[in-house]
Amino acid sequence: MSEENLINVFTTLRKKFLSMASYLLNNESDADDALQETFCRLWPRRDRIESQQEAEALATTTLRNLCIDTLRKRKITTIPIEEEHDQQEESPDWTEEHFREIERIIEQELTPLQKEILHRKEYNDETIEEIARDLGMQPTAARMQLSRARKKIRECYQRRIQE
């Protein structure tokens, strides 16, 4: 694809790409940066891009992945379950009943695989790679199961304390 054609694709679809990045990142400045980085990554590959549709698909995928990377870099902090127990004395709002409720949620709501991964990660302090290897799965799949388990615990806990 010629330089002109690639530039044309980007200028034509800039609003669409910027809208997508802004939606994913919830930050206009980060969205602009991601859009610029997308263009910079595709520019060296312009000779191998054969059509406008391919350029649009590559740009969309690259932009989406850059947005995901940006979100990961923001690092949403989580407190491991054992640290929550350690903080119990410091925080009078957390009673033994709260912890028992979380344990009930883990026992009742999580799948056996999620329980296994959560337990090994939080109590045995194993890495995701070790857990995945022992369970015969990809590290990304183990990470996803851990993420889903934590999300399920949060959702169920919030629902139960609001009742």
* Tens of pLDDT, residues 37-84: 988 888 888 888 888 888 888 888 988 888 888 888 776 555 555 544
| Confidence bin at 3 (pLDDT 50/70/90) | confident
Asked whether residue 119 falls in the same domain as residue 68, the answer is no
Question: What single letter denotes the amino acid at residue 56?
Answer: E
Give the count of domains, the chain. 2
For 88, list phi and psi in degrees, rounded to 5: -55, -45
Residues 96-137 pLDDT 10s: 777 788 888 888 999 999 999 988 888 888 899 999 999 999
3-state secondary structure the chain: CCHHHHHHHHHHHHHHHHHHHHHHHCCHHHHHHHHHHHHHHHHHHHHHCCCHHHHHHHHHHHHHHHHHHHHHHCCCCCCCHHHHHHCCCCCCCCCHHHHHHHHHHHHHHCCHHHHHHHHHHHCCCCCHHHHHHHHCCCHHHHHHHHHHHHHHHHHHHHHHHHC
Asked whether residue 137 falls in the same domain as residue 95, the answer is yes
Domain boundary among 35, 52, 73: 73
Domain encompassing residue 112: 81-162
Distance, in Å, from the CA atom of 70 to the CA atom of 86, rounded to the nearest integer, reads 32
Q: Please, how many CA atoms are within 13 Å of residue 118, restricted to the half-sphere of its CB? A: 25
Domain boundary among 25, 55, 73: 73
Asked whether residue 62 falls in the same domain as residue 102, the answer is no
What is the per-residue pLDDT for 144?
92
Residues 130-160 pLDDT 10s: 999 999 999 899 999 999 998 998 888 888 7
Q: Residue 46: which CATH number?
A: 1.10.1740
Q: Residue 142: which CATH number?
A: 1.10.10.10
Asked whether residue 100 falls in the same domain as residue 142, the answer is yes
Q: Kindly report the CA angle at 149 between 25 and 137, in degrees rounded to 5?
A: 95
Distance, in Å, from the CA atom of 28 to the CA atom of 18, rounded to the nearest integer, reads 8
Residue with tokens 């090994």: 120
Per-residue pLDDT at 88 exceeds 60: no
Asked whether residue 151 falls in the same domain as residue 109, the answer is yes
Asked whether residue 45 falls in the same domain as residue 95, the answer is no
Asked whether residue 57 falls in the same domain as residue 107, the answer is no
Per-residue pLDDT at 93 exceeds 60: no
User: Cβ neighbours of residue 152 under 8 Å, at least 6 residues apart?
Assistant: 105, 109, 110, 114
Asked whether residue 151 falls in the same domain as residue 93, the answer is yes
Asked whether residue 120 falls in the same domain as residue 93, the answer is yes
Phi-psi map region of 26: left, alpha, beta (phi>0 left; psi -120 to 50 alpha): left
